[in-house]
Every structure is written in C-alpha cells, then in structure tokens.
Amino acid sequence: MLAAGPVYTRERGGGANLALAMNFDFSPEEGAFQAEVEAFLAQNQSPDVMDTNPEQLSQTVDTPAKRAFMAQLAEQGWLGMSWPKAYGGAELPGIYDFLLTESLARWGAPQPGKGVGIVGKTIIRHGNEKLKSYFLPRIIRGEIEFAIGYSEPQAGSDAANMQLKAERDGAGWRINGQKIWTTSAHFADWYWFGARTDPAASKHRGITLFLLEMNHPGLTIRPTWTIGDERTNEVFFDDVWVSDDFVVGEAHHGWTYICEALDLERFAMMPVGPLEKKVEALCEYLASGERDGESLKQTAHVRQTTAQLVTQLEVARMLQRRVISEAIKGGVPTVESSMYKLFMTQLGQRVSNAALDLLGPEGQLKPGQDGAPLAGRFERSYRYTVVDTIGGGTSEIQKNIIARRGLDLPFRN
C-alpha cells in the first residue's frame, strides 16, 4: 500500500530505509509464531477467560480463571519476549509482543498489558536492583497485577498537574491526597503512581514515581462506574509511608518516565483486533439482514457506510504499523502513538454510531434484552467507546502532542 509520503519501512534485520511504500509483511518466523498463538487460543477458548464481544472489559475484571490463563501464557514463554535475557526475556524483536497482543485482543482474552509493558520495561530501564529482583520475575511469570495512578481530580488528562503530596519522612516519603480513574485498583496487587515531591519545581518537574502494595494501611479504594459498564476507582492516601526502596528511578524525575510509559500505554491499550471484529460482525449482519422486506446490503446508504468503515479500519491498521516501525527502529513513537490513538478511538465511536443507525430502532436494545441485534453488542459499544477517547490521554491531549511535537506548531496558553 502506498503511503501519503515518505515513511520508514521495516527490513528483515530490524533496520529501516526511507521509502515511499510501507512494507509490513511478516517474516516466515513471525507468521509461524502468529499461527502458534492462534492455535493455542483456539484450543484454550473459554467464556470464563474470553469476552465474546470484546470491548476489552476483560482487562478490568479479575478472576482465578484469568490468572490461570496468564500463567499459561508465561509457561509458553510469551510474557516479556522482548525483555533482555538477563531478566528472563528472549530478546526477541518487539513485533512478537505486538503479534501476541493483537491475537489476544481479537479473541477477547486478557493481555499482558501494564505489567510487561509499562511497569516492567520502565523498571528495566530505570529501576533499582531491589525493584528488578522482586518485580521482574513475578511479572514474567504472570503472577502480579498492577494499577496505574496518574489522574487526579484537578489533573485528569493533564497528568503533569498532579498534586498528590509526597513529603520526605526519614528513609521514605509520607503521602496524602487522591487519585481518580484508576482502573484495576480493586483487584491489582501493586499500585504504580506518581506524586509531587518538589512543590517548588515547575509543573513538569518535581514528580516522583512510586510502587505501593494495594493492601497498604492508609490506602482506600472507592468504585466509580463508567457509562460503558466498566468499573474504575478513586484511591485515597491517608498518611501512607513509602520507602525509598520503592521509588522508581531518580526522585523528582518521574515525569520523564511517565511520558515513556504513556507512549507504551497508548500503543498497548488500543489493539486493532477488537475493532476489526466489530466491523466484521456488522458487515456479516448487514449482508444477510432485511428491513421492511428489503435486503440491507442492496441499500446504497448501507453499502457506502460499510465501505467507509472498512477503509478507515485499514487506515487505523497502517497508523498502528507506523508505531511498530518506529519502535522497531529503537525510537520512542510519541507522535505516531498519538496519531494512532486519536484516529483509532474516534473511529471506534464512528463505527458504533454507524452501527446504531444501520441496525435501526432495535440497535438500541441492551445486551440480554430479547431481540437485540448482535446480542446488544453495539449498544454497549456506543457507550463504552466514550471511555476509549479518555484513557491514556484524551483526544485533545493527542492533538496537542501532534501539533507541538509532530508539526512543530507554537504553544499558546
């Protein structure tokens, strides 16, 4: 497929050349791995583990079956494949992590997510030896779950404005304040969060990253339910003391690490697979459906709309490949991640909006209600996709990143 302009393309050795065409063909080894993962998922298919109508709600619910499934992935050697061998990885190219995540997402299965990516990779780069020796083996064995705490009541998508107070207290820090929108806090084992350790510093400085057990005294978790049936949480700190041993990297330098982690999160949290499955399901329904005795697929509006959605899905896939291409070259795909996240989440909303239009009045029936087309899949999707444009940085934040870092436009208050 021809790109709009010169882009980097991946070569077999992991290198890159400037070219007009994007070549994202998988090597025979990569294709064989993808087939191996798909065969594993088919053999281990279970409604206790997989969401048959994937909105990635499986990522916000914890059960013994899902923990056991993650242990199975670990036994296959699929967790932390791109990590250094010194930490239990296989030093495989990052494309293998991508192939695993996409297959899991298509099946609605739990994904390695935050532990292997955001937490594990940041600890490998910046963590002290105690953090490495304790967390990395547990992450790569699939034994531990993390919650991520950046957002606060006055600092939603503007994470640099966080005001959770951490004051020096002996060989550690005394922390007071609140976090919001902490998905997974109700079942996670550890909390990965930022706090302001130098209030005199500028907004983007004076922030430190910490790790804390979720059952720590003084930590209170309160549920918040979203419009998309997803539970997230408020987390309150009341004189919580954290040792210096559980500071990630250097004190006051946390914003740099958070930015790195957000780039990883925007890529990891939005695989194409679930949206691809939704578009496929919609097309299959419309291909055989009727309204008032007339075939839907013969309707000009239906044909035009589905063609647009399928085309835009391919655009999303190519934007995702640009993220992968930059990561394979060893770069940090900040702009590419923002472009992909912005387009992908807004496309998810367009798909859901179009589906409710094309399904007619019955499309508004909820999951579980009699006569709901596609088991109410798009009614739920319509509500859930609102959340997608917020998590990992709102669409407005992504536009700012693209404008300032990608287009070099001036910043104005």
pLDDT score recorded for residue 27: 85
pLDDT score recorded for residue 370: 93
pLDDT score recorded for residue 12: 37
Give me 1's structure tokens.
């497929």
Instruction: Pick the more confident residue, 55 or 238.
Output: 238
pLDDT, average across residues 263-281: 76
What is the fold of 147-260? Butyryl-CoA Dehydrogenase, subunit A; domain 2 (2.40.110)
Q: Does residue 25 register a pLDDT over 80?
A: no
Q: Does residue 2 register a pLDDT over 80?
A: no
- Find how far residue 238's CA is from the centre of its chain: 29
pLDDT, one tens digit per residue, over 315-364 is 999 998 888 888 777 777 889 989 999 999 999 999 999 999 999 999 99
Q: Does residue 293 register a pLDDT over 60?
A: yes
Name every residue whose Cβ is closer than 8 Å to that of residue 56 and which is 6 or more positions away in sequence: 105, 108, 269, 274
CA distance 395 to 390: 7
pLDDT, average across residues 235-248: 98
pLDDT score recorded for residue 7: 36
pLDDT, average across residues 159-169: 91
What is the fold of 270-406? Butyryl-CoA Dehydrogenase, subunit A; domain 3 (1.20.140)
Contact 150, 210 (CB under 8 A): no
Q: Where are the domains of the chain?
A: 27-144, 147-260, 270-406
Residue 162: Cβ within 10 Å count: 24
Q: Does residue 226 register a pLDDT over 60?
A: yes
Contact 155, 162 (CB under 8 A): yes
b/e per residue 171-206 (b: at least 16 CB within 10 A): ebbbbebbbbbbbbbbbbbbbbbbbbbeeeeeeebb
Average pLDDT of the chain is 87
Fold matches, 147-260 and 270-406: no
Instruction: Pick the more confident residue, 11 or 156.
Output: 156
CATH of domain 27-144: 1.10.540.10
Q: Does residue 178 register a pLDDT over 80?
A: yes
**Residue 342: closest CA among 401, 391, 290, 389:** 389
DSSP 337-353: HHHHHHHHHHHHHHHHH
Residue with token string 């436009």: 409
Any long-range contacts for 29-35 (C-beta under 8 Å, 24+ apart)?
30/95, 30/96, 30/99, 33/96, 33/99, 34/99, 34/103
Q: Does residue 413 register a pLDDT over 70?
A: no
Q: Does residue 13 register a pLDDT over 50?
A: no
Q: Tell the burial category of 207 from Cβ atoms under 10 Å away from its Cβ (0-12, 13-18, 19+).
A: buried
3-state secondary structure at position 146: strand
pLDDT, average across residues 85-106: 91
